């Protein structure tokens, strides 16, 4: 991405984040006891200071961007941009489904499905290896964490492992 556009987008983003913090998130989600007499000891002081500094950095990024020359559009780092975006959306879906399925199916079965889904999402050239590993890796990790490290791995509501 050209430097000018990068700085401009980051600067606007930082200012928006700071505004969101200062005008909504901090007043709503940071509570302070009413008897705090000194502002520097208040739980609000630190978040407010950091939000203000974020705004300052955001404005500096915008100012920097405006001084930069307009550049030609940079080439994309992937040759199949629409498919790349689709793959990213796919990865997001895999993560959301994994998080949802973990308490229901259990860690091991969910991990197997997530492994296979991710491997096929990137069109692995070794589907056999991927499927084998999708079964083996979660099982081996289960053996280590459950039997060696003594971690209570979630088993889910359906099939339970010994």
CA–CA gap between residue 3 and residue 5 (Å, rounded)? 6
Over the window 33 to 62, marking each residue x when it contacts other proteins by CB under 8 A and - when it does not, the resulting string is: x--x-x-xx-x--xx--xx-xx--xx-xx-
Contact residue for other proteins among 8, 12, 130, 135 (CB under 8 A) = 130
Chain centroid, CA 115 distance in Å = 18
Residues touching other proteins, count (CB under 8 A): 76
Binding to other proteins, residues 81-110 (CB under 8 A): 84, 87-88, 90-92, 95, 98-99, 102-103, 107
Q: Which of 16, 20, 93, 122 binds other proteins (CB under 8 A)?
A: 122
Residue 124 near other proteins by CB under 8 A: yes
Applying CB under 8 A, among 16, 20, 23, 32 the residue interacting with other proteins is: 32
- Name the residue nearer to other proteins (CB basis): 53 or 159: 53
Decide whether 137 or 159 has the Cβ nearer to other proteins: 137
Secondary structure string (H, E, C) spanning 34-60: CCCCCHHHCCCHHHHHHHHHHHHHHHH
27 makes contact with other proteins (CB under 8 A): no
Q: Which of residues 5-24 bind other proteins (CB under 8 A)?
A: 6-7, 9-10, 14, 21
Q: How far apart are CA 123 and CA 111, in angstroms?
A: 18
Least distance (Å) from other proteins to the CB of residue 19? 14
Q: Tell me whether residue 37 or residue 162 sits nearer to other proteins (CB atom).
A: 37
Give me the DSSP letters along 94-158.
HHHHHHHHHHHH-HHHHHHHHHHHHHHHTT-S-HHHHHHHHHHHHHHHHIIIIIIS-------SS
Distance separating the N- and C-terminal Cα atoms of the chain: 51
């Amino acid at each position: 991405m050209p430097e000018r556009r990068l700085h401009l987008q980051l600067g606007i983003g930082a200012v928006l984040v700071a505004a969101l913090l200062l005008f909504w998130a901090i007043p709503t989600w940071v509570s302070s006891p009413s008897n705090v007499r000194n502002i520097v000891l208040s739980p609000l002081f630190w978040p407010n200071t950091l939000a203000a500094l974020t705004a300052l950095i955001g404005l500096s990024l915008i100012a920097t961007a405006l001084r930069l020359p307009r550049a030609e559009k940079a080439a994309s780092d992937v040759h199949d941009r629409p498919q790349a975006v689709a793959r990213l959306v796919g990865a997001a879906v895999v993560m959301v489904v994994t998080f949802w399925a973990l308490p229901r199916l259990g860690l091991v079965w969910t991990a197997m499905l997530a492994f296979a889904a991710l491997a096929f999402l990137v069109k692995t050239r070794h589907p056999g290896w991927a499927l084998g590993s999708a079964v083996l890796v979660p099982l081996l990790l289960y053996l280590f964490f459950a039997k060696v490290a003594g971690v209570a791995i979630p088993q889910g509501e359906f099939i339970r492992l010994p």
